[in-house]
Amino acid sequence: GQNIDQPTEMTATEGAIVQINCTYQTSGFNGLFWYQQHAGEAPTFLSYNVLDGLEEKGRFSSFLSRSKGYSYLLLKELQMKDSASYLCAALDSNYQLIWGAGTKLIIKP
Amino acid sequence: IAGITQAPTSQILAAGRRMTLRCTQDMRHNAMYWYRQDLGLGLRLIHYSNTAGTTGKGEVPDGYSVSRANTDDFPLTLASAVPSQTSVYFCASSASGGNNEQFFGPGTRLTVL
């Protein structure tokens, strides 16, 4: 079956760095997405990786290892507004997104 | 520019009633999607449409139907609502299917009693 695993909840301190991990098992693979979702709001796109390696976008970076079925989202210089859920989603062989349950990130001052 | 809109914002519905959730986008995206989001679970795809005039079933299509008469609109209908359909429903669109970013509407919170 197809499966996405990510931690349910993480806590970090304002100004620090946090890494949110995601492992995936899909029938075929066409890339890995990260979305941010604030409570009560819609998900918004953060990143897309299809090749191995690190993609940096401001304070946020995303890494992919296709051979390990693994990705992480790295958030630097954490701000209170980064408190949100972070959703990992893998694109399968039918180009449909398989979503993880999300990681709720709590930022403490 | 509205992007993608959904209506209603929230609804309480008696079991057995018919309900249509509306979704409209103004980005001229070819692909549209309906998801449900339940606590502790990931987004689950109900139905999708890769282009106007075509639709497909997602992971959890039972009890739901969709139509795609034009590019902009993608309504989701619950023919006879049941309490297990209580959820937050998100509509999304993308330029085409596949590896394009999906843009989400604000969601509809549906409670079936």
Per residue of chain A (109 residues), give pLDDT as tens.
Answer: 789 999 999 999 999 999 999 999 998 999 999 999 999 999 999 999 999 999 999 999 999 999 999 999 999 999 999 999 999 999 999 888 999 999 999 999 9
Q: Which residue of B has its CA nearest to A3?
A: B42
For chain B, give the mean pLDDT: 95
Cross-chain residue pair B102–A97, CB shorter than 8 Å:
yes
The rounded distance, in Å, linking the Cα atoms of A24 and A93 is 13
Q: What is the pLDDT of residues B46-101, one digit of tens each?
A: 999 999 999 999 999 999 999 999 999 999 999 999 999 999 999 999 998 777 89
Phi, psi dihedral angles at B85 (to 5 degrees)? -90, 5
Q: List the single residue in A41, A43, A96 with the smallest CB-CB distance to B45.
A: A96
Structure confidence at residue B21 as a pLDDT band (50, 70, 90): very high
Contacting residues of A for B40, CB less than 8 Å apart: 101
Peptide bond into B8 cis (omega under 30): yes
Element (H, E) at A103: strand A103-108
Cross-chain residue pair A48–B99, CB shorter than 8 Å:
yes
pLDDT of residue B40: 85
CB pairs under 8 A between A and B: 46
Phi, psi dihedral angles at B52 (to 5 degrees)? -55, 135
Cross-chain residue pair A45–B107, CB shorter than 8 Å:
no
